[in-house]
Amino acid sequence: MDKRISAAEAVAQISDGMTVGIGGWGPRRKPMALVREILRSDLKDLTIVAYGGADVGMLCASGKVKKVIFAFVSLDFIPLEPYFRQARQSGAIEVMEVDEGMMLLGLRAAAWGVPFIPTQVGLGTDILTHNPDLKVIDSPYDDKEWVAMPALKLDVALIHADRADARGVCQIEGPDHYLDDWIARAADKTIVSCEELVESSYFQDPARARQVFWERSITDAVVEIPGGAHPTSCNPQYGFDVPHFKAYNASAKEGGFAAYSEQFLGANEAEYQERVGGLDAIRAIPLPVY
Amino acid sequence: MTAATEYTLAELCIVAAAEAFRDDGEKLATGIGVIPRLGASLAMKTFNPDLMMTDSEAFMLSEPNPLGNRGDDFVQANETWMGFSRIFDNVWSGKRHAMLGPTQIDRFGQTNTSALGGTYQQPKVMMLGARGFPGNSICHRNSFFVPSHNDRVFVDGECDFVSSIGYNPARLPKGHSLDDVSIHRVITNLCVMDFGGPDHQLRLLSLHPGVQVEEVLDNTGFAVHVPEDVPVTAAPTGEQLAIIAALDPHNQRAYQIKDNPPGMRG
């Protein structure tokens, strides 16, 4: 089965009102080229589920979002995501705010086909106060109450990987695959952008096969987009683009997202990359040191 | 090991932060921010070598990493893969002690990292979000570091958004006890505290050199339990200062507390 498609074809599979899960974590390995393709589309009223960064901020700023399901939205070295902040402070979006681990449980419940997973996480906090749909239940086995974290079923998952073959075997070479495996498994349709398309024989090396975190039946479409995580990182290939994020952050104070889009977005990914200095420049961005 | 006579307030706080990890044994010590991370690292390098620590990304280390650029020759002491998904397995097992800096802390030890003012649908200031605070607070021990002790952090009334469970009887989940909550230390630029006062009231444990009780009380938005005898926070030793300097070769600690004041008030 050949699952290769273009970014535009990938985004054409998303419809208004869908729930879209986005892989990565904060400023790390986000499928930003696919996000940019959504920015260029007419899509609207999306519900976004993410360990959020600029992916969430940009989608909010461009009016694509009805609701965000999140535990945080942050650029890390710039702690507060400027456009998510604007969206919240103007009351423009609905939210379901949960703990990071609750989100993982919700994705697992969706992946496993169970309606909820019990947890003590969230008890005693405003996570419950502000999410009236989150139910607290009694246990059949003890006398405590438990949060019934509901399945976070995704219509579509968008993920960026290092390499993939045409059949949808995806490799994440970097030090962490984050929760991408659960985002992929929680979705009806998983679309993966990758730095490089490879032959299936690439995965014969067992060390590489161990960097494949879900089986190819989970992957529905593969889009080759080298540099497609920019301005987020794709460790070990490149780090996140600190000057670009600073400019993005500054645009929220002056010019707004329209000015940022005008300057960078372009009609397609080739134009975008040209405007940010080209693929070689992206590939040369150093990895962050913590 | 004699106390040093010249040290910064940041270094005093790092040593106080290290003390918070002293009796943890074999737990994952997570210090978020320069001073908590250096505190946890100092504890691991000295009196609690059993602590576990990550590289803030995806590996657990047998030796804490120095902060910032470590040069091309540096080899970090990986011992275990510890990606973000695996962190939750550790959190839920309880074998962790995190030290973090919430934006608000109330008299119950509840904290806020999420939003300030306005309504929940439209907050005046949106912050990070609840992050992992709900899970951390109910699953394992936590400590807090506050670089600027004032009544905007230590608020009168409840936090605008309660991100973490504290010692609030009104929010106690069925089948749980307030004693299940473990807020171990609260370290600020003025003092060290815990929630060991009557009915889990915030209690003063030590005052930093030159700080008076009144200054703590005036800058806390609710009542603090003051024991009869409040010692002075222990000064760093020369050995501790040398280890801190090695762990923080770029002196990031100098930028954590406003104006980087000396530890001993003039």
**For the segment B253-265, what is each residue's pLDDT rounded down to a tens digit?**
999 999 999 999 8
Contact residues on chain B for A144, CB-CB shorter than 8 A: 173-176
pLDDT digits (tens, 9 = 90+) for B85-117: 999 999 999 999 999 999 999 999 999 999 999
pLDDT exceeds cutoff 90 at B48: yes
Q: What token pair was written down for A218?
A: 């989970």
As a whole number, mean pLDDT of residues A157-163 equals 98
pLDDT exceeds cutoff 80 at B1: no
Contact residues on chain A for B164, CB-CB shorter than 8 A: 125
pLDDT exceeds cutoff 80 at A149: yes
Quickly count: other Cβ atoms within 10 Å of residue B134's Cβ: 31
Distance (Å) from the alpha carbon of A1 to chain B's nearest alpha carbon: 31
Tell me the pLDDT band of B2, cut-offs 50, 70 and 90: confident
Angstrom CA distances, B178 to B39, B137, B139, B158, stand at: 27, 12, 13, 17
Complex ipTM > 0.90: yes
A208 touches chain B (CB under 8 A): no
Contact residues on chain A for B119, CB-CB shorter than 8 A: 91
As a whole number, mean pLDDT of residues A163-170 equals 98
Q: Where are the beta strands (DSSP E) in B171-212?
A: 183-188, 191-194, 203-207
Q: Which residue of A has its CA nearest to B83?
A: A176
Q: Which residue of B has its CA nearest to A70?
A: B129
CB contact under 8 A, A178 and B85: yes
pLDDT exceeds cutoff 70 at B12: yes
Phi first, then psi: what are they for A155, rounded to 5°? Answer: -75, -45
As a whole number, mean pLDDT of residues B12-40 equals 98
Distance (Å) from the alpha carbon of A149 to chain B's nearest alpha carbon: 13
pLDDT digits (tens, 9 = 90+) for B162-215: 999 999 999 999 999 999 999 999 999 999 999 999 999 999 999 999 999 999
Residue ranges of the domains in chain A?
Answer: 7-98+153-273, 116-150
Tell me the pLDDT band of A227, cut-offs 50, 70 and 90: very high
pLDDT exceeds cutoff 70 at B22: yes
Among A29, A6, A1, A21, CA closest to A231: A29
Among A160, A147, A46, A55, CA closest to A103: A147
B109 touches chain A (CB under 8 A): no
The answer to whether B28 and B64 are in contact (CB under 8 A) is no
Q: Which residue of A has its CA nearest to B70?
A: A289
pLDDT digits (tens, 9 = 90+) for A25-79: 999 999 999 999 999 999 999 999 999 999 999 999 999 999 999 999 999 999 9
Bridge partners (DSSP) listed for residue B60? B54, B80
pLDDT digits (tens, 9 = 90+) for A233-282: 999 999 999 999 999 999 999 999 999 999 999 999 999 999 999 999 99
A-contacting residues of B 172-191, CB under 8 Å?
Answer: 172-176
Residue ranges of the domains in chain B?
Answer: 9-255
Q: Which residue of B has its CA nearest to A181?
A: B85
A217 touches chain B (CB under 8 A): no
Share of chain B above pLDDT 70, in %: 99
Which of B83, B138, B162 minimises the CB distance to A121? B138
Assigned CATH topology for domain A7-98+153-273? Glutaconate Coenzyme A-transferase (3.40.1080)
CA distance B85 to A213: 12
CB contact under 8 A, B173 and A121: no
CB contact under 8 A, A120 and B121: no
B-contacting residues of A 149-188, CB under 8 Å?
Answer: 174-179, 181-182
Which of B70, B123, B138 minimises the CB distance to A124? B138
A128 touches chain B (CB under 8 A): no
Pick the CATH number of B9-255 from 2.40.30.10, 3.40.1080.10, 1.10.1060.10, 3.30.230.10: 3.40.1080.10
Q: What is the pLDDT of residue B108?
A: 98
Tell me the pLDDT band of B266, cut-offs 50, 70 and 90: low
pTM here is: 0.97
A125 touches chain B (CB under 8 A): yes
Bridge partners (DSSP) listed for residue B125? B116
B157 touches chain A (CB under 8 A): no
CA distance B63 to B79: 9
SS3 B199: helix
